[in-house]
Structure 1
Amino acid sequence: MKFTMHHVTVAAVVALAIVGIPTAHAEGDKVTPVRSERLPNVPGKSLTAVVVNYEPGGKSASHHHAGSVFAYVLSGSIRSENSATGPARVYKAGESFFEPPGSEHLVSENASTTEPASLLAVFVADDGAQLTTFGKK
């Protein structure tokens, strides 16, 4: 089955009615919780998925995440720079990137000023951790 943005949106709406996942975000983006599950094979860790929607020209301030993050661009183009993975790069729909633990997400923004963009972020972090913290560590 091929997943479309419609599938992800429906899943996010359903998940909002079921779970509450604490997330922080900045102006120009909207974070929608999808699902969070404790990992029975990794005690003390949870896997959490969120969809981040960026308005045209939208961006997040510099921030860091709890644990590891895998990001998959669902639509549009996202410009991202992480302190551990090299210079800013534009990722298009269908591409992905990884943020290792302890790194800082220096740039996170919609690469377009005219079209929206979105990504699915999957976190592996300590149970109950605040997933995103803005500003310096």
Structure 2
Amino acid sequence: MVGIPSRHQALQGGLTPMTRREANTALLSAAAGLLTLPLALPALAAAQSGKHTPVRTLMREPLAPMPNAEASVIILTLAPGEHGHPHEHTGPVFAYILKGSIENQVDPGQPKTYRAGDYFYEPPMHVHRMMRNLSATEPAEVLVFQVGEKGKPFTIPAK
């Protein structure tokens, strides 16, 4: 029978079983790789054809080990003039403005304006004071990649 070996079979066969933390880290790395694969494919195709496709790193932040990690990618649509309420995220948040202009504030920073093509990082457990759509007529869209503990909320009320 072909399948995943049990812990006993792995030890008998000389394989070293992974700890839960190692498995979660491997899964998170694999998920991040799968999410970025569509961005890398044009560059790989260009490299094979001898052409150079520019690649631009938007941001890079270290990730602390998190047990039972789970990633979520969402598009947040803010209606004209809409604003969020203070909250915290249990894990890191990476955001990219797809459409419109927003004002955003994460403690301890000051409010900042972001436009389409801009991006920001929110560290875990920092109060996200506000995010508001600066337009009175057009929606704003934010692509959000967030990491949290599986089965637990990504967002909690501010303390």
TM-score range, shorter-chain basis? 0.5 to 0.7
Instruction: Quote how far apart the aligned CAs of 1:47 are.
Output: 1.1
1:7-58 Cα offsets, whole Å, 9 max, x none, are xxxxxxxxxxxxxxxxxxxxxxxxxxxxxxx526765111111111011001
RCO higher in structure (CA 8 A, sep ≥6): 1
Write the distance in 1 (CA, Å) between the matches of 2:144 and 2:106.
14
Q: What is the match of residue 39 of structure 1? A: 28
Measured in 2, the distance between the counterparts of 1:104 and 1:59 equals 15
Identity %: 36
Gaps of 5+ in 2: 1-26, 31-64
Counterpart-to-counterpart distance in 2, 1:62 and 1:40 = 30
The separation in 2 between residues aligned to 1:40 and 1:52, in whole angstroms, is 24
Match of 2:121 in 1: 98
For residues 118-137 of structure 1, the aligned pairs below 5 Å read 118-134=141-157, 136-137=158-159
**1:77 matched to which residue of 2?**
101
TM-score (norm. length: structure 2): 0.57
TM-score normalised according to structure 1 size = 0.66
Q: Structure 1 residues 40, 91: closer, same or farther in 2, change over 3 A?
A: closer
For structure 1, the 5+ residue unaligned runs are 1-37
State the match for 2:135 in structure 1.
Answer: 112
Cα distance, 1:64 vs. partner? 0.9
In structure 2, the residue corresponding to 1:60 is in which secondary structure? coil
Q: Pairwise CA RMSD of aligned residues?
A: 1.7
**Relative to structure 2, which stretch is displaced further, 109-118 or 72-81?**
109-118
8 Å CA contact retained: 2:81, 2:134: yes
Structure 1 residue ranges (4+ consecutive) displaced by more than 6 angstroms after TM superposition: none
Distance 2:130 2:84 in 1: 7
Determine which of 73, 86, 92 is the counterpart of 1:68. 92
Q: Using the alignment, how far apart are the partners of 1:89 and 1:113 within structure 2?
A: 18
Pairing partner for 2:112 from 80, 85, 89: 89
Amino acid at match of 1:94: G
Query: What count of residue pairs does the alignment treat as equivalent?
Result: 98
Whichever residue aligns with residue 55 of structure 1, its letter is A
Higher gyration radius (CA): 2
Going by fraction, where is helix more abundant, 1 or 2? 2
Deviation at 1:120, TM superposition (A): 0.8
